[in-house]
Structure 1
Amino acid sequence: MNNQLFKIIWHTVTVLGIVATILFFIYGIQTELFYSEQALEDFLNQFGIWAPLFFVFFQFIQVVFPIVPGGIGCLGGILIFGPVMGLIYNYIGICLGSIVAFLIAKKYGDGVLTLLFKPKLRKRYRRWVGDKRFDMFFTFMIFFPLSPDDFLCYLAGTTKMSLTKFTIIILIGKPLPIAVYSFGLEIIFRYIVSFF
């Protein structure tokens, strides 16, 4: 019963998170937030020095509690903070979130995967857990931009992989997929916005 209630709450929060994200992007287009330096500066000035910290925390949270698709946060970082700082803030938040997700799974095991992820996704990757090549598989998947990174970080926590090895893989492997997501989605977004 508790698991069922948790899943209902989880799905509700996921839908609300996606709706909130869509509304923010509509707001950003209407206020020229994403293509006017002055509008962007005015928006960030509301938060002062806290703006980067809020964003890093958002990226951290969306990894630990994968409610909003990660690509949306990556795009937001680039649009709000520019290509360099946006990429850096994305990297910091996502790496911290990945490490915490790994530690949560280390402590609580498979139960966390059952609560947070769909059975189909768990079944697809479950066979790798007992495989001695898991570390190599995990490294490859972290470098691959289209892999389910959040899930894989939790999955790695259920294996014998050490925190040190996991952290090294994440710190080295994350820049490429984050850059691909960030800049790829920015190109698509700007192309779509050009029609409005």
Structure 2
Amino acid sequence: MKNKRKMFVIIKTILLSLFVLAIIFVTIKYAPYVTELVKTPDRFKDLLASYGHVSIIVFLGFQIMQVIIAAISGEPVQIAGGYVYGMFLGSVYSVIGIALGSAIAFSISRFLGYSLIRTFISQEKLEKFNFLINNPKSEIIMFVLFLLPGMPKDLLTYIAGLTPINPVIFLIISTVARFPALLVTSYIGANMQKGNYIIVAVVSVIALILFIMSLFTKDRIVAFLHKIKHKDN
């Protein structure tokens, strides 16, 4: 029994090291390229078009990558998706890609555990969301956190892997909570493609105001969510 446990720890350590090295390599080599690419929707559209019938799979790959690699911002990818595919299909493809990326990140976190989280998340951020771990109300809290603009949702996905939340429930909650913001970014991209720059400007300003409001209130909301747990205890 001891030998099996020791072997499991060794395998886990090796996999953790390989995953961390892979993330560092991809972040350094490809993250800047992806970030610049999606900021130029026409260029991104041409790239996807060059893949023909499998262009959708390539787009899903970009979405999966931006969830797993937190250094890549998700909003430009979502805007580019709306620009290329329109609001409806752009939203649908983004939802699928983000759900797949979230499932992968969540599973990796659940298997590799706390050691992985400490590698990517600063101690300050980890302490801020540490109350989620072993919290019986993690489903409600997760929904609120994923609904708020400005929350580090990709990092939260990794943290979610350490909580008692059911994987399927987590995917449903995070996808539903993310959908409004996702729809807005796809809408912005679709209107950019049509040249409706006034609509783009108005929606972008509204989104920015909501983002700023969230920045000023999210710490209070997180503090309130802390209290929910403490009251139940």
TM-score range, shorter chain: 0.7 to 0.9
1:52 and 1:114, CA in 2 relative to 1: closer, same or farther beyond 3 A?
same
Q: Mind listing any 5+ residue stretches in structure 2 that lack a counterpart?
A: 1-13, 202-233
Structure 1 residue 14 corresponds to structure 2 residue 27: yes
One of 90, 95, 100 as aligned partner of 1:91: 95
Q: Mind listing any 5+ residue stretches in structure 1 that lack a counterpart?
A: none
Whichever residue aligns with residue 85 of structure 2, its letter is: F
1:134 and 1:53, CA in 2 relative to 1: closer, same or farther beyond 3 A?
same
Counterpart CA distance in 1 for 2:29 and 2:190 is 23
Give 4+ residue runs of structure 1 displaced > 6 Å after superposition: 2-9, 185-190
Counterpart CA distance in 2 for 1:113 and 1:64 is 13
Whichever residue aligns with residue 73 of structure 2, its letter is: P
Whichever residue aligns with residue 21 of structure 1, its letter is: V
Structure 1 residue 125 corresponds to structure 2 residue 138: no
1:79 and 1:144, CA in 2 relative to 1: closer, same or farther beyond 3 A?
same
SS at match of 2:163: coil
One of 119, 122, 125 as aligned partner of 1:115: 119
Q: Deviations over 1:98-154 (max 9, x none)?
A: 112111111111112122223332222112324333221101112223221111111
One of 94, 97, 108 as aligned partner of 1:104: 108
Counterpart CA distance in 2 for 1:168 and 1:6 is 26
Alignment of 1:38-117 (within 5 A): 40=45, 44-117=48-121
Whichever residue aligns with residue 86 of structure 1, its letter is: G
The answer (yes or no) to whether the contact 1:109–1:158 under 8 Å persists in 2 is yes
One of 107, 120, 141 as aligned partner of 2:145: 141
Counterpart CA distance in 1 for 2:38 and 2:60 is 18
The answer (yes or no) to whether the contact 2:147–2:178 under 8 Å persists in 1 is yes
Percent sequence identity over aligned pairs: 23
Counterpart CA distance in 1 for 2:51 and 2:101 is 22
1:16 Cα deviation from its structure 2 partner: 4.6
- Of 65-74 and 153-162, the range deviating more from structure 2: 65-74
1:22 Cα deviation from its structure 2 partner: 4.8
SS at match of 2:129: helix
TM-score, normalisation: structure 1: 0.74
The answer (yes or no) to whether the contact 1:91–1:175 under 8 Å persists in 2 is yes
One of 166, 170, 173 as aligned partner of 2:177: 173
Bigger Rg over Cα: 2
Whichever residue aligns with residue 84 of structure 2, its letter is: I
1:165 and 1:48, CA in 2 relative to 1: closer, same or farther beyond 3 A?
same
Please state which structure has a larger fraction of its residues in helix.
2
TM-score, normalisation: structure 2: 0.64
Counterpart CA distance in 2 for 1:43 and 1:8 is 27
